[in-house]
Amino acid sequence: MLMQMYYAKDNFMKSYKGKSIYNGVAIGKIYFYSKGEQVVKREKVDNSDEEVKRFEKAKEQAITELNSLYDKALKEVGEVNAAIFEVHAMMLEDDDYIDSIVNMISSQKVNAEYAVAMTGDNFSKLFAEMEDEYFKARAIDIKDISERVVNCLTGKALDGNLGEEPVIVLAKDLAPSETVQMDKSKLLGFVTELGSSNSHTAILARTMNIPALIGIEALPELNGKLAILDGYSGTLIIEPEEDILEKMKKKQQEDLENRKLLMQLKGKETITLDGKKIHLYANIGSVSDVKAVLANDAAGIGLFRSEFLYLEKNTYPTEEEQFQVYRTVAEMMAGKKVIIRTLDIGADKQVDYFNLEKEENPAMGYRAIRICLDRTDIFKTQLRALYRASAYGNISIMYPMIISVDEVRQIKKIVEEVKAELMEQGIKFNEVEQGIMIETPAAVMESEALAGEVDFFSIGTNDLTQYTLAIDRQNPKLDNIYDSHHPAVLKMIQMVVENGHKEGCWVGICGELGADISLTRTFLKMGVDELSVSPSFVLALRKEIREVNISEL
């Protein structure tokens, strides 16, 4: 952490440098948020059966609370972001977790609070020491659910009350449940000491359009002090000088005015000054996200992450269940393009009922299309649902983690089998555009040959950067060298565009880099045809594109 100090004539100002999670400016007093973790004492109990019943009752209350949180989050941040609370409720039903608590109460004759707290600490430590980043992240979830059960046992409630006036929340760390419970009308922004840009809380901040920083020490003595959260520079300024305060108020006002101006772009074409039309689409993970796509006037959906259908269930979603979801999205988009990515399970997206073995390097392991081509029954079920839904809208299909022409030909063979089955059964479907994700260096180098096999490419810049730089994008220790602007990454994107166009294949970008306005002109100069981003970025990108003359770049 870097800290700079500035001395004024009449006051003392401090500026703390962190990492920005979401751009924007927040001005207000600091509210130091302390979890107020209870000191749980070990107490001897005479009736362990009664204590087990107390635990069971508290567990059920915690699950009820989590279900309420899910409903609240569903309205505020959409189905994908709300899913974490379903996961927490499922974790509370885990046999190993419950058995550990019950066994401790019964064998050691201790109070339920102590058994829950100790089990939470033990499991959390176990997960934290694992090498896999996905399991490391679960350590925080275990702590969160255990603290919730302890609070239920002691009668302590967490209501998210931030006081009477809007504040900037400063905390050591924030669990997703704590973020969702806070009164949004009183939340100007938040700053945490711990966490990463890929944490659930960071994702919620971006979804709710709340300026946020991480990596700044949570000092209790800052409570109540006037502060500026500058999401653009990643800076927290305490007790700002008058001239800086006025400057940032002006910046804040400009932000508000820019948002109003952006709303005027709704209904306008996404076209450059010299007439190049760009397809500006949105990324989603569920049916409920479609309203954000329509509200921000995206021209279509460039990435529907279908794996969330699998992540949210306890068993494989049926063909009918998938069909209803795909059909609903297609109908809601009313003829606009909807690109659905086939399931991308594996790596950091684990599903228990898939029974995937633990891997030393899951990001490069058994995942995505590799699972589909190995377990063709799962793949065919999804393809049947997708083709059936194609009769109700403009659906395209995209396949992730491709590394060879041979894989694409295997996919096409399975697709033809599915189409033949549907025709034989008299089930209607439309012809569907077929595309692939370019997210491995192998796919980049083979892109000219691959372009001859498919209709479009969509570049997944998150994984492409990870694999090109050999850097785990979920490891916060490597954030300082993870560089999505690396020349090697940009050269690969250029190569893909050129090779795709040689074979008449349109090329888009659906990774986080697509929303990076500092690169928009670079992508237009490269000849990128489509950008697919989070719905909230659509209008800002449209503004940038409409101000560009590609011939002058």
Q: CB of 229 within 8 A of CB of 16?
A: no
Residue 486 a catalytic site member: no
Please answer whether residues 389 and 333 qualify as being in contact, where contact means their C-beta atoms are separated by less than 8 angstroms. Answer: no
Write out the E strands in 258-299. Answer: 279-284
* Residue type at 346 in one-letter notation: G
341 is in an annotated binding site: yes
Q: How far apart are CA 285 and CA 514, in angstroms?
A: 17
Q: Is 510 a catalytic residue?
A: yes
Helix (H) or strand (E) holding 219: none
For residue 512 the two structure tokens come to 């986080």
Q: Is 439 annotated as a binding residue?
A: yes
Binding site annotation covers 462?
Answer: yes
Annotated catalytic residue, options 88, 152, 200, 372: 200
148 in a known ligand binding site: no
Q: Which residues are 13's β-sheet partners?
A: 6
Contacts of 471 (CB under 8 A, 6+ apart): 465, 478, 481, 482
Provide the H-helix boundaries in 184-295.
200-207, 242-263, 290-295
Contact 404, 449 (CB under 8 A): no
C-alpha closest to that of 81 among 189, 210, 260: 210
Q: What's the order of all strands across the beta sheet hosting 12-17?
A: 2-7, 12-17, 235-238, 226-230, 25-33, 167-171, 187-192, 212-214, 19-22
Q: Write the burial class of residue 319 (CB in 10 Å: 0-12 exposed, 13-18 middle, 19+ buried).
A: middle
Residue 283 pairs in a beta bridge with 303
Per 3-state DSSP, the chain is made up of helix, strand and coil in percentages (nearest 5) of: 50, 15, 30
The closest of 158, 164, 153 to 177, measured between CA atoms, is 158
Q: Check: CB of residue 326 under 8 Å from CB of residue 395.
A: yes
Among residues 152, 372, 505, 510, the one annotated as catalytic is 510
Q: Are 211 and 491 in contact (CB under 8 A)?
A: no
Q: Are 515 and 541 in contact (CB under 8 A)?
A: yes
Measured CA distances, 483 to 348, 372, 489 (Å): 20, 31, 9
CB 280, CB 545: distance < 8 Å? yes
Q: Give the span between the Cα atoms of 195 and 198, in whole angstroms.
A: 8
Sign of CA dihedral 452, 457, 461, 466: negative
Nearest to 394 by CA among 488, 315, 314, 279: 279
Listed residue (178, 1, 188) closest to 72, CA to CA: 178
How many angstroms from the chain centroid is the CA of residue 510? 13
Annotated binding site for phosphoenolpyruvate: 305, 341, 462-463, 473
Annotated binding site: 305, 341, 439, 462-463, 473
* Active centre residues (catalytic): 200, 510
Annotated binding site for Mg(2+): 439, 463
